[in-house]
């Protein structure tokens, strides 16, 4: 009886067995699971200020030479003369075109029209309109050149393939764009190049209408009516000293004075 009582009042730890190794492993992993941790994600101290390596560009495996890639052609065209005018502000774009046309008309067109023809001082309005038409024509040529350049780059940006030359014109190749490059190029072509082409088209329409209007005004009676005085080329009523005489003309050409009163009757 005493042995039974002593056994019941003995320390509990003495009657318990230590947990096995397998049970300790399960208990530790279930309650405190391990979280994967990569040392490359967080850097402490001076290592945190080191620049990370850049992500590889989509053109890493592109066989097209850099100067023939559409994205580089777009950047080069945006900074070249005069193609950069079309991609700038609308006010700056219009002012540059106006200054170009006015300068050519004043310094080139007007001297040619004024000193290159006889009697220009007697028809000034007609000569000024002719000089203005030359300035408009030069601006039209410049806008056409800009349109052709931007249209070429826009087609290469929107196309799914790129035609390029490895070393010369005789070894042309075609490269199919990757999805990343195609998405980037089409985004750039749709939102950057297409508005420029629309602006150039509207400019060509305005310049064409202006050129037609100026030419029609130059041939209209409005331009020829503004004369300072009689054109000296009209010599129908001017005598020629030493070569013309009324008496001699009446003697040899009496029919020319038919119907006119003779001097004898006066």
pLDDT per residue over 120-133, tens digit each? 556 778 888 889 99
Q: Classify residue 100 by burial, with Cβ atoms within 10 Å: 0-12, 13-18, 19+.
A: middle
Q: pTM (2 decimals)? A: 0.62
Query: Across all residues in the chain, what is the average pLDDT?
Result: 75
Give the tokens for residue 50: 């080191």
User: Residues 12-26: what's their mean pLDDT?
Assistant: 47
Pair 131, 113: CB distance under 8 Å: yes
Lowest mean pLDDT among 66-80, 94-108, 118-132, 245-259: 245-259
Per the CB < 8 A criterion, the answer to whether 120 and 127 are in contact is yes
pLDDT tens, 88-107?
Answer: 899 999 999 999 999 999 99
Residues 63 and 173: their CA atoms lie apart, in Å, by 9
Q: Note the pLDDT of residue 244.
A: 59
Task: Give residue 261's pLDDT.
Answer: 57
Q: How confident is the model at residue 200 (pLDDT cuts 50, 70, 90)?
A: very high
Per-residue exposure over 225-250, b if at least 16 CB sit within 10 Å of its own CB, e if not: eeeeeeeeeeeeeeeeeeeeeeeeee
Q: Is the pLDDT of residue 177 over 90?
A: yes
């Amino acid at each position: 009886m005493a042995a039974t009582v002593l056994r019941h009042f003995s320390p509990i730890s003495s009657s318990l067995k230590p947990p096995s190794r397998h049970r300790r492993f399960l208990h530790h992993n279930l309650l405190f699971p391990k979280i994967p941790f990569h040392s490359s994600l967080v850097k402490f101290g001076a290592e945190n200020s080191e620049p990370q390596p850049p992500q590889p560009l989509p053109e890493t495996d592109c066989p097209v030479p850099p100067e023939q890639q559409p994205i580089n052609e777009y950047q080069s065209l945006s900074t070249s003369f005069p193609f950069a005018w079309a991609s700038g502000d609308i006010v700056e774009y219009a002012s540059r075109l106006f200054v170009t046309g006015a300068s050519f008309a004043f310094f080139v067109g007007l001297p040619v029209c004024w000193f290159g023809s006889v009697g220009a001082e007697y028809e000034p309005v007609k000569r000024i309109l002719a000089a203005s038409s030359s300035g408009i024509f030069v601006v039209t040529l410049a806008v056409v050149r800009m349109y052709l350049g931007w249209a070429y780059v826009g087609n290469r940006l929107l196309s799914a393939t790129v035609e390029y030359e490895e070393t010369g014109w005789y070894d042309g190749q075609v490269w199919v764009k990757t999805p990343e490059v195609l998405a980037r190029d089409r985004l750039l072509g749709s939102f950057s190049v297409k508005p420029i082409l629309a602006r150039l088209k509207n400019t060509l329409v305005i310049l064409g209408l202006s050129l037609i209007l100026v030419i029609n005004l130059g041939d209209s009676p409005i331009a020829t009516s503004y004369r300072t005085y009689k054109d000296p080329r009209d010599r129908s009523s001017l005598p020629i000293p030493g070569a013309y005489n009324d008496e001699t003309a009446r003697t040899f050409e009496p029919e020319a004075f038919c119907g006119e009163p003779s001097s004898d009757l006066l």
